Amino acid sequence: MNFTQEIARRRTFGIISHPDAGKTTLTEKLLLFGGAIQEAGAVKSNKIKKGATSDFMEIERQRGISVATSVLAFEYEGTKINILDTPGHKDFAEDTFRTLTAVDSVIVVIDVAKGVEEQTEKLVEVCRMRNIPMIVFINKLDREGKDAFDLLDEVEQKLNLRVTPLSFPIGMGYDFKGIYNLWEKNVNLFSGDSRKNIEETIEISDLSNKSLDELIGTETADQLRENIELVQGIYPEFNQQEYLDGTLQPVFFGSALNNFGVRELLDCFVKIAPTPRPKQSAERVIQPDEKDFSGFVFKIHANMDPKHRDRLAFIKIVSGKFERNVPYLHVRHDKKLKFSSPNAFFAEKKQIVDTSYPGDIVGLHDTGNFKIGDTLTQGEAIHFKGIPSFSPEHFRYINNADPMKSKQLNKGIDQLMDEGVAQLFTLELNGRKVIGTVGALQYEVIQYRLEHEYGAKCTYENLNVHKACWIEPENPKSEEFKDFKRVKNKFLAKDKKGQLVFLADSPFTLQMTQQKYPSIKFHLTSEYK
Ligand code: GDP
């Protein structure tokens, strides 16, 4: 197979959902179809379970699992599919946002009874802003849920999407009879037997066919005819280009647990989902079929084995071929590095590979060279965009609790920040360190990992901050900006990249400050240019 064909057969995507909607179950069924796993239960949920162990110990356990589920790759009918794992827990939203910079499309899973939930809204918004193509899968049709039309309305309104159903349920819950597939124009009857791996489909190209009445009863058949007529009347016709542009989202219905409607989803997905997409760098747009390799780090996993400082940096390949033992340019360090054992991911295994292609993810063993967002190339100094930091929700001072171990503490903080566990801000006034996180749980994780992996002890001290805003003055030399820096000195800090940040203690302060200094822009994300 040549280079162009290798690119054309790749589909790299993420499944996003609110916890419990059925992401893990769906992933598993997709892997079953690909023959990548043999039985249900093989994919571990990346969910944080509330239970006997304390939450942060649970997170540690999850960290182990999430290495295994970071990338699940499999082959299906000639395509190479890479599923990137996205944590659903809100405290790990940043992880998910970063992973979404490495996907070419997403599947959104929605629970038919619960409808659109909070995390779904947040994650879909990020995808919508980036025009990522999305397919919606409405799950758990074997349960009583919302009316299909109401649910489609809800998806349109709450998620601000323009949808078109490519399948439609026949009944629901106790009366769930199956699905009419508008894409393939056939009826798929539900037997409710989850032991069956592949369900049978009945070809009905013409809904007026009387055999439909025999199969599902005249009343249900008529209802279906009416519904499909309505669907075709209300919703736009499916158009692949609109889907690829992110302006139209096809919807499928099914039950992941019963492996029902999943094959239809997968068959359509491999036909319509995008091949690896071009990516914007600060310098220019990089096309996947360019000869020279380029890629970027979107995730780092560290210290899975506390005995060695092992880190695995996950690189999404944007262009060219990535080859083992070939030196590549680490753009930020302006240094060539080569990798003797790059890992590729297959279902649940990782394996050393010689060559990887655009769309693929490679895991590189790292001793501390990489940060999230780093670019690696054949030689050109390009910088990929699109891995912003967002203002954290929680802020605390971090103090050294063991003066003999300050070196260890600093190193630990540095590395945990590179991994993207939290954000570090250093106060301009006195050099004190402030840790900002998305969830309160992260503080326990950091404390625990500093102690167990770096032998350092820390304590926290509360700090009243509402939001961190990245500062962009119209003119850095203006009197206004000098005045701002003097008056607000106590609330200014530098982030890890040395960018200036204003720590506003309340929405009111932020508003007043903005009014007082109209020539300064206050951004809630680090990447505003
Ligand atoms: P995740 O948090 O999104 O990964 O959700 P899981 O895949 O772990 O599923 C959450 C729960 O919903 C589990 O108990 C699943 O067995 C159940 N579940 C998933 N799909 C279905 C479905 O199609 N029907 C029913 N009744 N339950 C389902």
Is residue 72 predicted with pLDDT exceeding 70? Answer: yes
* Residues 142 and 253 occupy one common structural domain: yes
Point out the least confidently predicted range of 38-42, 181-185, 238-242, 490-494. Answer: 38-42
With a 6 Å cutoff on the Cβ, whether 19 touches ligand 1 is: yes
Ligand 1, closest atom to CA 260? 23
* Residues 25 and 154 occupy one common structural domain: yes
With a 6 Å cutoff on the Cβ, whether 433 touches ligand 1 is: no
Contacts (Cβ under 8 Å, ≥6 apart) of 471? 492, 499, 500, 501, 502, 520, 521, 522, 523
Q: What are phi and psi of 516, to 5 degrees?
A: -70, -30
Q: What are phi and psi of 242, to 5 degrees?
A: -65, -40
Is residue 307 predicted with pLDDT exceeding 90? Answer: no
Number of domains in the chain: 3
Strand partners, 397: 434, 461
* Ramachandran quadrant class, 287 (left: phi over 0; alpha: psi -120 to 50; beta: rest): beta
- Whether 382 is covered by a domain: the verdict is no
Average pLDDT, the chain: 88
* Residues 343 and 260 occupy one common structural domain: no
Measured by CA distance, the residue closest to atom 22 of ligand 1 is 140
Helix then strand then coil, % of the chain, to nearest 5: 30, 30, 40
Return the ∠ at Cα 59 (arms to 53 and 65), rounded to 5°: 110
19 is in an annotated binding site: yes
Look up tokens 């982030």; give the residue. 495
Q: What is the pLDDT of residues 458-495, one digit of tens each?
A: 999 999 999 999 999 999 999 999 999 999 999 999 99
17 is in an annotated binding site: yes
CATH number at residue 486: 3.30.70.3280
With a 6 Å cutoff on the Cβ, whether 20 touches ligand 1 is: yes
**Are the C-beta atoms of residues 35 and 137 closer than 8 Å to each other?**
no
Instruction: Calculate how far, in angstroms, residue 257's C-alpha sits from the geometric centre of ligand 1.
Output: 6
Q: Distance of CA 504 to CAs 267, 391, 466, 490, Å?
A: 50, 11, 6, 10
Measured by CA distance, the residue closest to atom 25 of ligand 1 is 140
Instruction: Calculate how far, in angstroms, residue 250's C-alpha sits from the geometric centre of ligand 1.
Output: 22
Look up tokens 């009111």; give the residue. 508
Ligand 1, closest atom to CA 19? 2
3-state secondary structure of 193: coil
- Whether 221 is covered by a domain: the verdict is no
87 is in an annotated binding site: yes
22 is in an annotated binding site: yes
* Residues 371 and 449 occupy one common structural domain: no
- The Cα–Cα gap between 395 and 269 comes to 42
Structure tokens at 95: 């992880």
Single-letter residue type at 369? N
Instruction: Calculate how far, in angstroms, residue 254's C-alpha sits from the geometric centre of ligand 1.
Output: 12
Single-letter residue type at 179? I
Q: Residue 302's pLDDT is what?
A: 78
Q: Residue 344's pLDDT is what?
A: 85
* Residues 430 and 490 occupy one common structural domain: yes
Structure tokens at 462: 């509360």
- Whether 387 is covered by a domain: the verdict is no
Instruction: Calculate how far, in angstroms, residue 56's C-alpha sits from the geometric centre of ligand 1.
Output: 24
Q: Residue 303's pLDDT is what?
A: 65
Measured by CA distance, the residue closest to atom 17 of ligand 1 is 22
Q: Residue 52's pLDDT is what?
A: 43
Look up the pTM and report it. 0.87
Point out the least confidently predicted range of 21-30, 316-325, 500-509. Answer: 21-30
Ligand 1, closest atom to CA 109? 3
**Are the C-beta atoms of residues 75 and 104 closer than 8 Å to each other?**
no
- Whether 57 is covered by a domain: the verdict is yes
Highest mean pLDDT among 23-32, 85-94, 235-244: 235-244
Measured by CA distance, the residue closest to atom 21 of ligand 1 is 257
Q: Which of 257, 258, 260, 265 to mutate for ligand 1's pocket (most ligand atoms within 8 Å of CB)? A: 257
With a 6 Å cutoff on the Cβ, whether 43 touches ligand 1 is: no
Q: 306 or 127: which carries more pLDDT confidence?
A: 127
350 is in an annotated binding site: no
Rg (CA), the chain: 25
Ligand 1, closest atom to CA 46? 4
* Residues 112 and 142 occupy one common structural domain: yes
With a 6 Å cutoff on the Cβ, whether 255 touches ligand 1 is: yes
Point out the least confidently predicted range of 6-20, 37-51, 222-236, 311-325. Answer: 37-51
**Are the C-beta atoms of residues 42 and 28 closer than 8 Å to each other?**
yes
**Distance, CA of 126 to chain centre:** 10
Q: Which of 15, 25, 26, 260 to mutate for ligand 1's pocket (most ligand atoms within 8 Å of CB)? A: 25
- Whether 185 is covered by a domain: the verdict is no
Q: Residue 332's pLDDT is what?
A: 93
Is residue 187 predicted with pLDDT exceeding 70? Answer: yes
Q: What is the pLDDT of residues 40-56, one digit of tens each?
A: 665 666 565 555 445 56
Q: What is the dihedral of CA 314, 320, 326, 331, to 10 degrees?
A: -60
**Are the C-beta atoms of residues 299 and 371 closer than 8 Å to each other?**
no
Is residue 502 predicted with pLDDT exceeding 60? Answer: yes
- Whether 404 is covered by a domain: the verdict is yes
529 is in an annotated binding site: no
Question: What's the pLDDT band for 69 if we cut at 50, 70, 90?
Answer: low
- The Cα–Cα gap between 491 and 175 comes to 60
Q: What is the pLDDT of residues 380-413, one digit of tens each?
A: 999 998 677 888 999 999 999 999 999 999 999 9
CATH number at residue 168: 3.40.50.300
With a 6 Å cutoff on the Cβ, whether 88 touches ligand 1 is: yes
Instruction: Calculate how far, in angstroms, residue 145's C-alpha sits from the geometric centre of ligand 1.
Output: 14
Three-state DSSP string of 111-171: ECCCECCHHHHHHHHHHHHCCCCEEEEEECCCCCCCCHHHHHHHHHHHHCCCEEECEEEEC
* Residues 90 and 60 occupy one common structural domain: yes
Measured by CA distance, the residue closest to atom 24 of ligand 1 is 140
- The Cα–Cα gap between 70 and 43 comes to 11
- Whether 423 is covered by a domain: the verdict is yes
Instruction: Calculate how far, in angstroms, residue 140's C-alpha sits from the geometric centre of ligand 1.
Output: 7
Contacts (Cβ under 8 Å, ≥6 apart) of 473? 480, 481, 484, 519, 520, 521
* Residues 42 and 93 occupy one common structural domain: yes
Is residue 165 predicted with pLDDT exceeding 80? Answer: yes
Residues of the chain with pLDDT > 90, as a percent, come to: 63
**Are the C-beta atoms of residues 42 and 17 closer than 8 Å to each other?**
no
- Boundary residue ending a domain (377, 404, 439): 377
21 is in an annotated binding site: yes
With a 6 Å cutoff on the Cβ, whether 139 touches ligand 1 is: yes
* Residues 307 and 260 occupy one common structural domain: no
Instruction: Calculate how far, in angstroms, residue 522's C-alpha sits from the geometric centre of ligand 1.
Output: 41
* Residues 399 and 486 occupy one common structural domain: yes
* Residues 47 and 145 occupy one common structural domain: yes
Q: Residue 110's pLDDT is what?
A: 98
Question: What's the pLDDT band for 203 if we cut at 50, 70, 90?
Answer: confident
Question: What's the pLDDT band for 57 if we cut at 50, 70, 90?
Answer: low
* Residues 146 and 243 occupy one common structural domain: yes
- Whether 186 is covered by a domain: the verdict is no
23 is in an annotated binding site: yes
Q: What is the dihedral of CA 491, 496, 500, 501, to 10 degrees?
A: -40
CATH number at residue 344: 2.40.30.10
Residues in the chain: 529
Range of the domain at 28: 3-174+236-272
